[in-house]
């Protein structure tokens, strides 16, 4: 399609008074071959928009709007069927640089050149449209799963609910009472789970499969082919999105030998205590006698680096509930609660107060160091760091260990490593690789048979575990999201929750799943590139099967054939472009974002010669955090060096090394790459973008060495969006450093 590029320069918001707009027009039309260039005092207004609409009707099919940041007025500059490029002359030029200055004018001209080149090279994305199934598969029939099912079904979506146990209800169906969820938050209350089960089982849109496991899930969101296994028979169904609500299991108390579990018959877990409570009386396992002195050891294995480093958030309230119920059963009994901190958030403080009122329930802060038997299977609990003064011992008939919650999730990536290693061992190839593989098989043998979703994904059959093995994407902006598009974690598999919070999770995840299938049906991406209809295309004739793209994709988008050629699954994709950054053959591109487009933009920048003493720096900015941070700095009129030219990138992980090479050989003096925070508490919207860039920068250093250039010419920075005020300083310091190093000797070649 022939491009007819129309350029519009807005004069509003100080742009007209700070720049020579006429000179910019000349750049657009004479130098960059734009079909036309107009300016207007307020482009986003009615008249301005009218100007553009008329030109589009007159045949313009690509529009370049030079004005404010693309983060502002997106609706004003959206024209159906017409490609629109925004050039940020406001925040990044006139509000952050000296007005009517030679360097500012050069900066604006370069941004305009880059924008026009982009408009010329990019194409309007065509959505990937295939038949999308909107059925929602809910895995797990506990409170969370049932809530997700009821909510999704209530919103008009078909639901397939799979539960591996014979009955629905999960833990909640096994427990007699829970702590109160409503005012006055004083007494344990029954769990209304039976009603929910009836509702789920009777719902027209919900198909319940109990006693069923998942044999396999292939395909991609909107087109998942699910095979279910129940009593030796396999049934197939199709689903569009998945809610994983597989819940929790108690922490393995047999690892808590120091607390007497396994050693002393009268040391039990809080889950076992629930079983006793369900029977209506608290009897000692050793002799069946009534337990009159019950010691609760809080944080048994929780908030402990050796065991579970986290707080499960419910154990304190569970123990308080159990103490109250035990006292209700037997007024002569006493409960001793030994805690690190009582965590009873919000209104649950009243529940804690309720237990405190009872003179038969004793609380003390303590770090329990051991539990020993003292004859007749009685127990002696030893604790230190109490406020009672020094070490203490408490005698008890029964000790309840308040163990924490462990997610019922499979380690998808571990399972993949295990499968790969097993394959190597089976092949039996000689060499060091074989020994390493044998070791891996041994180390990961415990994962055998743990798979839950059995996804046919190259990167593993289950969700990748993250912090503490919870498969949540672990980023506060995206609740329920996981690192697999269209699969959402909810309830205790996502994070330790009480049943109330689990229900909220179930509803939330159902909405996420609905949002996902609806967007898919329009060929659009889910969060964070919400609504993006572009998707990566592979020029497979040139693929060398290096597998970098299949390995590096954070979302498991790509499968491989036997040779290792990537097999795209567009609806699994979140359009970050990490595969594009990874590909050494540069065969992966989006219609509106490609190696070629960005390279052309880099090359469009005018590089003054060495003697003008005007260095040129290239900045590749992550558009999620760093770009808005620079906008904010501009809004606050914080000035930065006029020698740098920024290009927004979808993710730092999408930066292809060739851009760096292109920039350096073109004569740029330095390159600044700014991405999101990586590490354990990463803020990267695509999980590992800046981390990957970190590893790729080793290759960059290599490249610099080949070119006999200083390493300092390329700098990688990580910037949380909240540090916007530091960004101009980072830019200026980098500019100063490059000036000290001197000009790039490749200028003018």
Binding stretches for other proteins (CB under 8 A): 334, 336, 342, 352-353, 356-360, 362-365, 382, 386-395
Compute the distance between CA of residue 416 and CA of residue 401 in angstroms, rounded to an integer. 35
Compute the distance between CA of residue 735 and CA of residue 729 in angstroms, rounded to an integer. 10
Please say which residue, 391 or 467, places its beta carbon nearer to other proteins.
391
Smallest separation, CB 168 to other proteins (Å): 39
Please say which residue, 123 or 382, places its beta carbon nearer to other proteins.
382
Omega cis (within 30) before 704 = no
Compute the distance between CA of residue 170 and CA of residue 200 in angstroms, rounded to an integer. 14
Q: Find out whether 629 and 640 touch, Cβ atoms under 8 Å.
A: no
Smallest separation, CB 293 to other proteins (Å): 8
Please say which residue, 315 or 582, places its beta carbon nearer to other proteins.
315
Please say which residue, 198 or 393, places its beta carbon nearer to other proteins.
393
Closest by CA position to 651, among listed 617, 676, 669: 676
Smallest separation, CB 357 to other proteins (Å): 6
Segments in 672-726 forming alpha helices (H): 689-706
Question: Hunting for tokens 């038969």 — which residue is that?
Answer: 360
Two structure tokens written together for 206 = 């919900």
Smallest separation, CB 385 to other proteins (Å): 12
544 phi and psi angles, rounded to 5 deg: -105, 10
Segments in 33-92 forming alpha helices (H): 46-57
Q: Which residues are paired to 84 by β-bridges? A: 63
Q: Find out whether 274 and 175 touch, Cβ atoms under 8 Å.
A: yes
Work out whether the CA dihedral 147, 150, 156, 160 comes out positive or negative: positive
Q: Which residues are paired to 283 by β-bridges? A: 290
Omega cis (within 30) before 184 = yes
Smallest separation, CB 525 to other proteins (Å): 49
Compute the distance between CA of residue 318 and CA of residue 498 in angstroms, rounded to an integer. 10
Please say which residue, 366 or 573, places its beta carbon nearer to other proteins.
366
Smallest separation, CB 411 to other proteins (Å): 39
Please say which residue, 351 or 590, places its beta carbon nearer to other proteins.
351
Please say which residue, 224 or 352, places its beta carbon nearer to other proteins.
352
Please say which residue, 213 or 378, places its beta carbon nearer to other proteins.
378
Antiparallel, parallel or unpaired: β 212-218 and 224-230: antiparallel
Compute the distance between CA of residue 110 and CA of residue 87 in angstroms, rounded to an integer. 10
Smallest separation, CB 355 to other proteins (Å): 9
Please say which residue, 393 or 699, places its beta carbon nearer to other proteins.
393
Please say which residue, 275 or 395, places its beta carbon nearer to other proteins.
395
Compute the distance between CA of residue 20 and CA of residue 267 in angstroms, rounded to an integer. 82
Smallest separation, CB 362 to other proteins (Å): 5
Smallest separation, CB 352 to other proteins (Å): 8
Closest by CA position to 273, among listed 343, 310, 323: 323
Two structure tokens written together for 465 = 């575990």
Query: How long, in residues, is the chain?
Result: 749
| CA dihedral angle for residue 275, residue 276, residue 277, residue 278, rounded to 10 degrees | 50
Smallest separation, CB 392 to other proteins (Å): 5
Burial of residue 442 (number of CB atoms within 10 Å: 0-12, 13-18, 19+): exposed
Please say which residue, 255 or 365, places its beta carbon nearer to other proteins.
365
DSSP state of 199: H
Closest by CA position to 513, among listed 190, 244, 277: 244
Smallest separation, CB 259 to other proteins (Å): 16
Smallest separation, CB 314 to other proteins (Å): 19
Three-state secondary-structure class, residue 112:
helix
Smallest separation, CB 346 to other proteins (Å): 16
Please say which residue, 201 or 358, places its beta carbon nearer to other proteins.
358
Specify whether the backbone of 81 is left (phi greater than 0), alpha (psi in -120 to 50) or beta: left
Q: Find out whether 219 and 205 touch, Cβ atoms under 8 Å.
A: no
Please say which residue, 294 or 620, places its beta carbon nearer to other proteins.
294
């Amino acid at each position: 399609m022939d491009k007819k590029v129309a350029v519009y320069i807005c004069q509003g918001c100080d742009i007209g008074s700070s720049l020579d707009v006429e000179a910019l027009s000349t750049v657009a039309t004479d130098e960059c071959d734009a079909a036309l260039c107009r300016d207007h005092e307020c482009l986003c207004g009615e008249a301005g928009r009218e100007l553009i609409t008329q030109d589009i009707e007159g045949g313009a099919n690509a529009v370049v709007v030079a004005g404010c940041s693309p983060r502002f007025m997106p609706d004003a500059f959206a024209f159906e069927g017409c490609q629109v490029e925004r050039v940020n002359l406001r925040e990044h030029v006139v509000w952050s640089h000296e007005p009517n200055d030679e360097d500012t004018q050069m900066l604006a001209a370069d941004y305009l050149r880059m924008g026009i080149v982009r408009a010329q090279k990019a194409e309007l994305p065509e959505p990937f449209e295939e038949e999308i199934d909107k059925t929602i598969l809910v895995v797990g029939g506990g409170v969370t799963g049932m809530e997700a099912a009821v909510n999704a079904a209530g919103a008009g979506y078909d639901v397939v609910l799979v539960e591996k146990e014979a009955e629905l209800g999960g833990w909640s169906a096994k427990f007699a009472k829970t702590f109160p969820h409503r005012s006055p938050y004083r007494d344990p209350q029954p769990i209304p789970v039976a009603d929910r089960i009836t509702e789920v089982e009777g719902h027209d849109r919900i198909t319940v499969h109990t006693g069923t496991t998942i044999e396999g899930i292939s395909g991609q969101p909107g087109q998942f082919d699910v095979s279910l296994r129940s009593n030796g028979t396999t049934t197939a169904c199709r689903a569009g999105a998945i809610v994983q609500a597989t819940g929790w299991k108690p922490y393995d108390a047999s690892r808590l030998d120091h607390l007497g579990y396994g050693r002393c018959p009268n040391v039990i877990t809080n889950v076992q205590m629930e079983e006793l409570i369900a029977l209506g009386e608290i009897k000692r396992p050793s002799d069946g006698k009534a337990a009159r002195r019950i010691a609760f050891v809080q944080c048994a294995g929780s908030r402990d680096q050796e065991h579970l480093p986290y707080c499960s958030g419910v154990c304190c309230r569970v123990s308080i509930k159990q103490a109250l119920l035990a006292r209700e059963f037997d007024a002569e009994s006493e409960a001793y609660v030994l805690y690190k901190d009582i965590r009873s958030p919000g209104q649950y403080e009243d529940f804690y107060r309720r237990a405190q009122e009872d003179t038969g329930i004793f609380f003390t802060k303590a770090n329990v160091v051991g539990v020993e038997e003292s004859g007749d299977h009685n127990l002696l609990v030893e604790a230190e760091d109490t406020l009672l003064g020094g070490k203490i011992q408490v005698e008890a008939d029964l000790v309840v260990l308040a163990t924490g919650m462990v997610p019922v999730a499979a380690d998808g990536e571990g399972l993949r490593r295990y499968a790969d290693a097993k394959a190597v061992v089976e092949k039996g190839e000689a060499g060091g690789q074989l020994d390493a593989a044998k070791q891996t098989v041994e180390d990961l043998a415990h994962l055998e048979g743990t798979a839950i979703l059995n996804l046919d994904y190259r990167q593993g059959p289950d969700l990748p575990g993250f912090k503490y093995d919870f498969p949540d994407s672990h980023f506060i902006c995206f609740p329920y999201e996981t690192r697999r598009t269209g699969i959402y974690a909810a309830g205790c598999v996502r994070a330790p929750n009480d049943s109330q919070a689990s229900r909220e999770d179930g509803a939330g995840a159902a909405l996420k799943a609905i949002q996902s299938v609806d967007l898919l049906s329009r060929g659009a991406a889910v969060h964070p590139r919400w609504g993006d209809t572009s998707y990566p295309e592979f020029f497979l004739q040139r693929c060398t099967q290096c597998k970098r793209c299949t390995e590096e994709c954070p979302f498991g988008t790509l499968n491989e054939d036997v040779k290792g050629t990537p097999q795209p699954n567009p609806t699994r994709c979140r359009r970050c472009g990490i595969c594009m950054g990874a590909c050494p053959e540069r065969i992966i591109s989006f219609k509106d974002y490609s190696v070629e487009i960005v390279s052309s933009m880099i090359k469009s920048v005018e590089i003054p010669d060495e003697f003008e003493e005007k260095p040129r720096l290239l900045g590749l900015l992550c558009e999620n955090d760093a770009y808005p941070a620079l906008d904010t700095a501009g809004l606050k009129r914080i000035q930065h060096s006029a020698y740098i030219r920024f290009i927004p990138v979808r993710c730092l992980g999408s930066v292809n090394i060739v851009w760096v090479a292109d920039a350096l050989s073109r004569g740029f003096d330095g390159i600044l790459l700014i991405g999101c925070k990586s590490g354990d508490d990463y803020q990267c919207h695509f999980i590992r973008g800046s981390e990957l860039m970190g590893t790729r920068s080793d290759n960059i250093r290599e490249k610099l060495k080949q070119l006999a250039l200083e390493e300092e010419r390329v700098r990688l920075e990580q910037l949380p969006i909240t540090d916007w005020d530091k960004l101009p300083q980072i830019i200026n310091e980098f500019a100063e450093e490059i000036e000290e190093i001197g000009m790039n000797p490749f200028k003018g070649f």
